Structure 1
């Protein structure tokens, strides 16, 4: 899949003056979750234990996820020399354990597992595309571009595997939709909140709700309509629904309105973030002009 290494990143182009301190906070959290994603390969290979072809690809996927975390962690250390990525990651994995010792998918079928993985890759592809377009720090922009491309290719890997298993399991479209919606609801689970806490407020007691709001306020305001439209098409495709046409427009419009509603609810958090970082660009969902 991916063919780049950390040596391919133009680290010498790093521009400290262009670092957004509030964007840095979510990059630190993202570095932890990306680095930790590699552990999911053990879970996937347990679920697909008699499919050596997929397991080999899952191992490659895991290596790439670890590389994403290492790239983001190295950038975060350059942007904030007081940040110790390895020590922070050790604190994170000590408090957040991924259950991998399983024999069957928690989604009820291998097809369901692949639907869920497609949703995850949709979210990360959209997320890094949004961060790529939000930053003008050249090294971070390059890293996010590379990661967004990888995550889109990961989506294709899991979608191709999904189609192969649908021929064997034939789960209903209704079930695919339910799995997709369920996994979307899990996008604000404890992992991101705890990662944000470990990376940014380790000296305070962990408050899941506060950490989740702090992360969401800083991350959601960088999404634009084009990111949501592309992501919604990928979600519908994984769910077995037509990604374009009237349904696609309705679904992407609903997601966009939901995002703006969440940003409105997170108004105080967003204002606090913008008071400490650079102002939100006029016309963005988090600005008064939106």
Structure 2
């Protein structure tokens, strides 16, 4: 496979965690929101652990230096910044939560999933899978932003969402360039899309929720029921607010379909994606 893949680096100044005024957080708007507690804590764990996955991806694309360089210099750096920002926010709002202890227990389990064997052997299909993940995270942060009116949180989540959209565009661009050089059939692309979509609920988010639950301590101690019930509630909350049209437009991009065909299948695909994310 030809390995001349290029990308266009961003030229605009990127946001920084240091520019966010966490002292301005209005805790009255978020501290009692149990859903945001679990969602933001889980996201802070997953983003903080992204360097392990980034290293695997960079190795996977070692024969494509431009992709590997972007993964290590931009993608990984921005994902880790998301983790720092989310951690700073949750520690400001819920200071008694033992974040480091909970993260360490999460990472001990999560890191076992971050192996080269988890990646598609075909680098083209792994780019397709990455498009699915970036679609999911874009929709996730879009939804989180809609769940709260807290200004600092809205600003931070807006920055993160925009980064995820940009990451999606890069992975899609790399995929298109590989397709131009050595095409993979649409049937295989569709299987990769659906396969990764089904996996979204079975790995990192589920693990993160479990470790947040185990370490929540005094927070929401009156909550009754089981972790499985809380997790199902969160999945249903996210799916009910999911910007389905946005997500499906992004999911269909790697199929490289004619516009007329894409328009015909967008609605049924939207219903399928929502059902998968809500019920697994």
Fold conserved between structures, TM > 0.5: yes
Partner residue of 1:67 out of 69, 73, 81: 81
Instruction: Check conservation: 1:77, 1:85, Cα contact below 8 A.
Output: yes
The two structures have a TM-score, normalised by structure 2, of 0.82
Q: 1:239 & 1:78 partners in 2: Cα distance?
A: 42
Aligned counterpart, 1:276 = none
Q: What's 2:39 paired with?
A: 26
Instruction: Write the distance in 1 (CA, Å) between the matches of 2:139 and 2:216.
Output: 31
Q: 2 CA distance for matches of 1:92 and 1:146?
A: 25
**Equivalent residues of 1:48, 1:110 under 8 A apart:** yes
Q: Are 1:221 and 2:237 counterparts?
A: yes
Residue number in structure 1 paired with 2:268: 250
CA contact (8 A) 2:25 2:151 kept: yes
Q: Aligned equivalents of 2:276 and 2:266: distance in 1? A: 16
TM-score of the two chains, using structure 1 as the length reference: 0.80
- Give the secondary structure class of the aligned counterpart of 2:62: coil
Aligned match of 2:199: 186
Indicate conservation of the 8 Å contact 2:98/2:215, yes or no: no
Judge conservation of contact 2:140–2:242 (CA < 8 Å) in 1: no
Q: Verify the 8 A CA contact 1:49 1:55 in the aligned structure 2.
A: yes
Distance (whole Å) between structure 2 residues aligned to residue 241 and residue 97 of structure 1: 36
Name the counterpart of 1:14: 25
1:130 is displaced (CA, Å) by 0.7
User: Given that residues 68 and 147 in structure 1 are in contact (C-alpha distance below 8 angstroms), is that contact kept between their aligned partners in structure 2?
Assistant: yes
The CA RMSD measured in Å over matched residues stands at: 2.6
Match of 2:132 in 1: 119
Structure 1 residues 36 and 211: CA distance shift in structure 2, 3 A: farther
Deviations 1:46-105 (A, max 9, x none): 111122211111012011111111111111111111123333222211222245664x88
Greater length-normalized contact order (CA 8 Å, ≥ 6 residues apart): 2
Decide which of 67, 75, 84 is 1:54's aligned counterpart: 67
Gap regions ≥5 residues in structure 2: 1-9, 218-225
Unmatched tracts of structure 1, length 5 or more: 205-209, 266-290
| Pairing 1:94-109 to 2, within 5 Å after superposition | 94-98=108-112, 102=116, 106-109=119-122
Q: Where does residue 286 of structure 1 map in the other structure?
A: none
